[in-house]
């Protein structure tokens, strides 16, 4: 029997199955590929894996458009393969978290195929329909993927609502039948023995009335809208019947409300907030903003201190690679970021390839892009009159495809991901950056991750200790302490490309601080320290 709140001590790993490991030579990663690599995840020190959607889907949004919730996509394998994966993972004491996508379905889902047939179809109210003409939508709200949130249907002369692509119609949560169907489906998966869910886009399930007037925030009409708590409470009641872990993707939920969402009586065990990795500054900017990262993570760490729990991440399948956004693609930068991520308070999620230092891809043509939102964004920029090279530079800057290139396992053709041409190009840097480096170098990024994970697991202060941000005004140094009644730890990371100096209070007894981990030369803690680019140190007071 697994103990309650097991997820507080756990380290998670996110698998984007299409790009993880191809076992049957079709250029697409699959479930048997994941099975092959479970020992690799154990070696790293992982406790649970979150797998991006593997359900039947026309793949307009790579699996986030589901056409059958209870079937495995043939690209990934069969239900038997899934069962085998679950069993093998459990035998290795690895848990499996599935993606739960219930804000919308695919437009090819049988419910929607029925719904669009006629005004009086029994499935009509499974989705949101409103009177419209071909020219004039019910209102002027814009979708996350660009363009109107409404798509006109000729047959019934109404439009349906979608916050993402037009092939992803939003489910109508007001309809009790819809909720009943969803809850049954959720139970079906939980009864199968999975260990939890990452709940997709869940802050969008409630919508304002269609005549709601947008003031500042264009997403306000479908982002954390009042009334959502009823549905979230119903979901919580189901999850509570099972000893599973839940992490809600809660875009637009402010840290002031985090307790409702993740506290002792919150809707989920933890949430993915999206603030800290928001695009700051001009659209074309290359670097992530370190002051913003510090400020925002600090807010989330402190507001959840009393009641709540953070889900920690620096990159995922929707973002570029953190070593490229905040770093300079080097192993030192990758290790510096790992030091920050793995010692914060919360449950860390490592995104596949992050532990070997995988970088952004140098896209040079729109043909190399697969992500629907990037292609749409590029087209919008062209339509606005921008020249091709400029539009491409801006569109690919934050493209989701940077993190979706195939996993670089070793220095062989296609990085060892597949024996045939993969669905998305492998980054040309695979001869240098790949998982097999760990067997060649004891100083590999992988080993650094392994060491941090081990340290975290054997140190209560790094699980439960209070977080405090130090040097809050420093533009590039990310420094914090983790403290319990008996221990104090100091995490000190220069995230900048230059040398910098930091100072700590003269009153500290520096003889008491010992260095535990560093990504560079050993350096004792002093009231004045000079740090070079991407230098990271972890100290403990004894
Ligand atoms: O807030 C948003 C954009 O500013 C949206 O974040 C949204 O919550 C986020 O993009 C949701 O992402 C998830 O759902 C999408 C899917 O395309 C992503 O891959 C997934 O992570 C639709 O299912
Ligand atoms: Ca395959």
pLDDT in tens, 234-251: 999 999 999 899 999 999
Closest atom, ligand 1, to C-alpha of 64: 23
**In this structure, are residues 533 and 494 in contact, taking their beta carbons and an 8 Å threshold?**
yes
pLDDT of residue 283: 57
Closest atom, ligand 1, to C-alpha of 61: 17
So where are the chain's domains?
6-103+176-363+430-453, 110-161, 364-398, 466-541
Ligand 1 centre and the CA of 542: distance in Å? 44
Average pLDDT over residues 345-373: 95
**In this structure, are residues 249 and 349 in contact, taking their beta carbons and an 8 Å threshold?**
no
220 lines ligand 1 (CB under 6 A): no
Q: How far apart are CA 170 and CA 109, in angstroms?
A: 12
Two tokens at 370? 């697969």
Query: How does 229-241 read in b/e, with b if 16+ C-beta sit within 10 Å?
Result: eebbeebeebbee
Condensed to tens digits (0 to 9), the pLDDT of residues 123-145 reads 999 999 999 999 999 999 999 98
SS3 of 422-457: the string is CCCCCCCCCCCCCHHHHHCCCCCHHHHHHHHHHHHH
Give residue 77's region: left, alpha or beta (phi > 0; psi -120 to 50).
left
61 lines ligand 1 (CB under 6 A): yes
| 57-66, 85-94, 284-293, 352-361: segment of lowest average pLDDT | 284-293
449 lines ligand 1 (CB under 6 A): no
Q: Which of 253, 244, 192 is nearest to 226 (CA)?
A: 253
374 lines ligand 1 (CB under 6 A): no
200 lines ligand 1 (CB under 6 A): yes
- Say which residue the tokens 């002027």 belong to: 140
CA 7 vs CA 92, 342, 349, 354: distances in Å: 16, 14, 11, 21
pLDDT of residue 194: 98
274 lines ligand 1 (CB under 6 A): yes
Hey, which of 59, 251, 398 would you mutate to test ligand 1's pocket, going by the most ligand atoms within 8 Å of its Cβ?
A: 251
Same fold, 6-103+176-363+430-453 and 466-541: no
pLDDT of residue 282: 54
Q: Would the pLDDT of 494 be above 60?
A: yes
Condensed to tens digits (0 to 9), the pLDDT of residues 131-184 reads 999 999 999 999 998 899 999 999 999 999 999 999 999 999 999 999 999 999
**In this structure, are residues 406 and 414 in contact, taking their beta carbons and an 8 Å threshold?**
yes
Closest atom, ligand 1, to C-alpha of 103: 23
Q: Which residues pair with 248 in a beta bridge?
A: 199, 271
The residue count of the chain comes to 542
Domain covering 466-541, topology: Immunoglobulin-like (2.60.40)
Q: Would the pLDDT of 16 be above 90?
A: yes
Two tokens at 342? 């793995």
pLDDT of residue 61: 95
Ligand 2 centre and the CA of 324: distance in Å? 28
Q: How far apart are CA 91 and CA 84, in angstroms?
A: 10
Residue 398 banded pLDDT, cuts 50, 70, 90: confident
Q: Would the pLDDT of 530 be above 60?
A: yes
**Continuous segment of H or E residues that includes residue 469:** strand 466-470
Ligand 2 centre and the CA of 74: distance in Å? 9
What does the mean pLDDT of the chain come to?
96
Q: How far is CA 315 from the centre of its chain?
A: 6
pLDDT of residue 4: 79
Residue 425 banded pLDDT, cuts 50, 70, 90: very high
Q: Would the pLDDT of 210 be above 60?
A: yes
Which residue's alpha carbon is nearest to atom 9 within ligand 1?
A: 201
**In this structure, are residues 103 and 144 in contact, taking their beta carbons and an 8 Å threshold?**
no
pLDDT of residue 281: 56
Which residue's alpha carbon is nearest to atom 7 within ligand 1?
A: 201
Condensed to tens digits (0 to 9), the pLDDT of residues 96-121 reads 999 999 999 999 999 999 999 999 99
Two tokens at 498? 């230059």
Two tokens at 86? 């679950």
pLDDT of residue 306: 92
The answer to whether residue 99 is catalytic is: no
Q: How far apart are CA 171 and CA 149, in angstroms?
A: 13
Q: How far apart are CA 311 and CA 339, in angstroms?
A: 16
pLDDT of residue 372: 85
Phi, psi of 72 (to 5 degrees): -90, 140
pLDDT of residue 3: 74
- Say which residue the tokens 């043939």 belong to: 74
| DSSP strands (E only) in 121-223 | 129-131, 150-153, 158-161, 196-199
Ligand 1 centre and the CA of 201: distance in Å? 6
Phi, psi of 541 (to 5 degrees): -85, 130
**Integer-rounded Cα radius of gyration of the chain:** 23
Selected catalytic residue, list 30, 107, 249, 273: 249
164 lines ligand 1 (CB under 6 A): yes
pLDDT of residue 285: 58
Condensed to tens digits (0 to 9), the pLDDT of residues 319-334 reads 999 999 999 999 999 9
Which are the contacts of 254, defined by CB distance < 8 A and separation ≥ 6?
none
Ligand 1 centre and the CA of 318: distance in Å? 8
- Reported ipTM: the value is 0.96
Domain covering 6-103+176-363+430-453, topology: TIM Barrel (3.20.20)
Ligand 2 centre and the CA of 22: distance in Å? 4
Condensed to tens digits (0 to 9), the pLDDT of residues 28-84 reads 999 999 999 999 999 999 999 999 999 999 999 999 999 999 999 999 999 999 999
Domain covering 110-161, topology: Oligo-1,6-glucosidase; domain 2 (3.90.400)
pLDDT of residue 286: 56
pLDDT of residue 280: 64
Ligand located closest to 36 CA = 2
Cα-based torsion angle of the residue sequence 348, 352, 353, 354 in order, rounded to the nearest 10 degrees: -20
**In this structure, are residues 240 and 186 in contact, taking their beta carbons and an 8 Å threshold?**
no
The answer to whether residue 36 is catalytic is: no
Average pLDDT over residues 395-419: 95
Selected catalytic residue, list 47, 99, 170, 200: 200
Phi, psi of 381 (to 5 degrees): -65, -40
Q: Would the pLDDT of 1 be above 70?
A: no
User: First-to-last CA distance in the chain?
Assistant: 36
């Amino acid at each position: 029997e697994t103990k309650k709140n097991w997820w507080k001590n756990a380290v998670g790993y996110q698998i984007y199955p299409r790009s993880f490991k191809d076992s049957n030579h079709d250029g697409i990663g699959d479930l048997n590929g994941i099975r092959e690599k479970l020992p690799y995840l154990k070696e790293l020190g992982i406790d649970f894996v979150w797998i991006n959607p593997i359900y039947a889907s026309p793949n307009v949004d790579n699996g986030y458009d589901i056409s059958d919730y209870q079937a495995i996509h043939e690209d990934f394998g069969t239900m038997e393969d899934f069962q085998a994966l679950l069993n093998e993972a459990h035998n290795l004491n690895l848990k499996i978290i599935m993606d739960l996508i219930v804000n919308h379905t695919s437009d090819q889902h049988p419910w929607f195929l029925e719904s669009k047939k006629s005004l009086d179809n029994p499935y009509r109210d499974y989705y949101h329909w409103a009177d419209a003409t071909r020219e004039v939508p019910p209102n002027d709200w814009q979708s996350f993927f660009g363009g109107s949130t409404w798509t006109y249907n000729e047959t019934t002369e109404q439009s349906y609502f979608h916050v993402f692509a037009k092939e992803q119609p939003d489910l109508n949560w007001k309809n009790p039948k819809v909720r009943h169907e969803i809850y049954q489906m959720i139970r079906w998966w939980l009864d199968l023995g999975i260990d939890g869910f990452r709940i997709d886009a869940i802050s969008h399930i409630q919508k304002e009335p269609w005549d709601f007037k947008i003031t500042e925030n264009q997403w306000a009409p479908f982002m954390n809208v009042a009334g959502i708590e009823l549905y979230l409470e119903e979901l919580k009641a189901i999850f509570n019947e099972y000893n599973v872990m839940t992490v809600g993707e809660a875009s637009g939920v402010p840290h002031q409300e985090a307790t409702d969402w993740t506290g002792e009586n919150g809707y989920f065990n933890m949430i993915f907030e999206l603030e800290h990795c928001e695009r700051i500054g001009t659209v074309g900017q290359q670097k992530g903003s370190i002051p913003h990262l510090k400020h925002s993570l600090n807010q989330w760490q402190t507001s959840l201190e009393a009641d709540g729990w953070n889900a920690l991440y620096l990159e995922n399948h929707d973002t570029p690679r953190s070593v490229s956004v905040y770093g300079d693609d080097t192993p030192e930068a990758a290790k510096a970021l790992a030091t920050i991520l793995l010692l914060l308070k919360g449950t860390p999620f490592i995104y596949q390839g992050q532990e070997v230092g995988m970088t952004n891809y140098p896209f040079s043509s729109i043909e190399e892009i697969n992500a629907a939102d990037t292609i749409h964004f590029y087209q919008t920029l062209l339509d606005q009159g921008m020249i091709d090279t400029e539009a491409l530079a801006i569109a690919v800057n934050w493209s989701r495809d940077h993190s979706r290139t195939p996993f670089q396992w070793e220095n062989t053709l296609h990085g060892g991901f597949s024996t045939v041409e993969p669905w998305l190009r492998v980054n040309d840097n695979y001869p240098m950056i790949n998982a097999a480096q760990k067997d060649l170098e004891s100083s590999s990024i992988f080993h650094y991750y392994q060491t941090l994970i081990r340290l975290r697991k054997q140190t209560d202060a790094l699980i439960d200790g209070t977080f405090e941000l130090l040097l809050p005004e420093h533009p590039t140094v990310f420094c914090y302490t983790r403290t319990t009644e008996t221990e104090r730890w100091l995490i000190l990371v220069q995230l900048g490309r230059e040398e910098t100096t930091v100072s700590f209070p003269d009153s500290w007894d520096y003889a008491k601080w010992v260095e535990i981990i560093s990504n560079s030369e050993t350096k004792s803690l002093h009231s004045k320290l000079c740090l070079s680019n991407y230098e990271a140190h972890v100290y403990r007071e004894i």
